[in-house]
């Protein structure tokens, strides 16, 4: 007795159609969720507390060394006595011509970072 060679292809075709149907239904559900997010302005309150020390360990040690005591960039200890908080904020926001890039710290975090750097002894 011979088997019909068309049966496997029909099964694959039916499986594909069912899969397309269910994925379409899933997409409609996702579209409704996206529409709800847009109605809310797409902004959910995510408040991450800015940690200057953690930020420095991630971003600044590449140029200023592991202990921020200098490397390719200058020593950051005692910076408050040398420059003052306003100058530190300016450097964080705008950078320097000596190689410090501006904009590494988000504008809303510049005050916290400057306070932490000024207190660094």
Per-residue pLDDT in tens (0 to 9) along the chain, 121 residues: 578 888 889 999 999 999 999 999 888 888 888 888 887 765 555 567 888 888 888 888 888 888 878 778 788 888 777 888 888 888 888 888 877 888 888 888 888 888 888 887 7
Fold of 52-119: Cytochrome Bc1 Complex; Chain D, domain 2 (1.10.760)
Task: Answer yes or no: is 13 a known binding residue.
Answer: no
Residue 91 · residue 83 · CB < 8 Å:
yes
Q: Is this model's pTM higher than 0.75 or not?
A: no
CA distance 88 to 82: 10
Determine whether the annotation assigns residue 1 to a binding site: no
Q: Rounded CA gap, 91 and 4, in Å?
A: 78
Any binding-site annotation on 100? yes
**Would the annotation count 113 as a binding residue?**
no
Per-domain residue ranges for the chain? 1-44, 52-119
DSSP 1: -
Backbone angles phi, psi at 95, to 5 degrees: 80, -170
| Radius of gyration (C-alpha) of the chain in whole angstroms | 28
Q: Report the C-alpha gap between 93 and 102 in whole angstroms.
A: 5
């Amino acid at each position: 007795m011979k088997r019909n060679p068309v049966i496997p292809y029909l099964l694959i075709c039916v499986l594909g159609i069912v899969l397309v149907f269910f994925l379409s239904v899933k997409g409609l559900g996702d579209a409704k969720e996206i529409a709800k997010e847009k109605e809310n302005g797409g902004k959910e309150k995510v408040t991450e507390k800015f940690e200057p020390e953690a930020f420095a360990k991630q971003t600044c040690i590449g140029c200023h060394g592991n202990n921020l005591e200098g490397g390719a960039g200058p020593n950051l200890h005692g910076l408050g006595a040398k420059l003052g908080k306003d100058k530190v904020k300016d450097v964080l926001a705008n950078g320097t011509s000596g190689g410090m890039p501006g904009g590494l710290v988000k504008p809303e975090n510049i005050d916290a970072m400057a306070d932490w750097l000024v207190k660094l002894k």
